[in-house]
Structure 1
């Protein structure tokens, strides 16, 4: 392996070894605490333009297979690990992680102290960084990071470009694709739904033309305030059809009804985040991947009620409309990867599509 270095915008340097594809510019460096599921993480569109630091020390030991991808076009900027396994052992494996990364065009960095890097990001907050092969001049790299503008088109790049219909005998669900994981579609198909996937910039007229029984607002990358067209869509659909939002979809529902969102210092990314349903007291262990959250102080007077909170930091993890059949969660009930404690939220949505009643 050749030398490869991660340089953070604050000047911190982590020297390691290269694997996967060649470096491809500046990205936001974030950490993920899941012990398994690296293939699903890499292919989650919500990681668009992000360099993923995995806190589990050994990555790649069970290889990669064709069935565990969450999108056909992974958009992660890089994968950063303590140790990468080049000789996986699993009956489902078809190739090693370094080979898969090379094919996907995603660079990898191994051999660094990911514990130190994670602690640094926890104390300073996530920040932008750049991977460099071979020798470099630190000042020049830092100048490049500063001069590189932050992209605001992640949702556009992650979304489907045209409508896709998956036949089914059950309720017809329109899934608005802001960067949807395939796991959401799988859960709807499991329940017999006919799924119509539409682009992120679909209008209410586009959606209603399909005569849906319900609308799903998917997860996706970036700042929810970079998708203003979605707010108009949600406002025009709110009184016409049941709506279920996940992750970015959850944040967009809040914004569409007058609430606010903010960026978290280092986000929630992992498969072991406890969330409490404040209506029942039940705690679920959830899969999460987000860098923004709904501002609870902005909710009073907005016809939105908090239903779930994060036990770790008290942030909003779920809301519902006080009179309309609309609800959302910040975490991922479809898992992929992670626990399936919250999978029954899809069943709640199915009930809404049949009854039109509130949650």
Structure 2
């Protein structure tokens, strides 16, 4: 059986960022009849007194105040109304106290500025929307700002890039709590890829290419079907009908990753799925995911996931659901 994931407190404030708020509601508050175990409890916590107006002109009702933050296992900050506005001192104090007692904090997009103002990101890696990364680094120099990723998990604090990257960060937290099989099921209901390859660098505006780019989708699918084999850049470039140099450039533009990093990403995803849903032993999983030996697979898996394959299967395997 899965452990109960506890209460998720979702902040609501006057000037609420509607899309970011909707992400948190969709993932943590939506009923999940497809699962036979306890899902998250949730509470909408009012940051401000009085009417809470959301972007788009509608009103949001909260069912709790700051007192809910004292029992929340997870607190979600869905954006912030103004990067230039200091959040209320009462909110910053409540977040510091929650962090001190071990609560997890997750910010979406500009919500990172609330965590930064509370001093909870000092000395940590963090991210936000690529448009705000320079500002975040300038105003809070103690934060190690990474502008290229979709989210950063520093353990107790998770920060995500712009808007839709909040979905990636929330699904990542679901995976931490329940495993890849469950997070994949949630992603399917969202009609979204459970793991988006690359970072937000691929979304930063760039000059339009003078020559139309070849569609890499067929090459990526071809590679996914052969993860158990040794795949090389020359092979993939030939499949794409490109020179190696052109292929490397366009692959990075399309995915935000090198072919080597992308293959490792895909192999880890395949390994998690096999460990959760099959009875294959570690040696067989390693072979199907393209590793030379079980030992090299164990090392790579532990580095990528944070658990040994055996412990991952023990926690998230089919018998646990």
The interval holding the TM-score normalised by the smaller chain is: 0.3 to 0.5
Structure number with higher helix proportion: 2
Q: Which has the higher contact order (CA 8 A, sep 6+)?
A: 1
Q: Please, what TM-score do these two structures have when normalized by structure 2?
A: 0.36
Structure number with higher strand proportion: 1
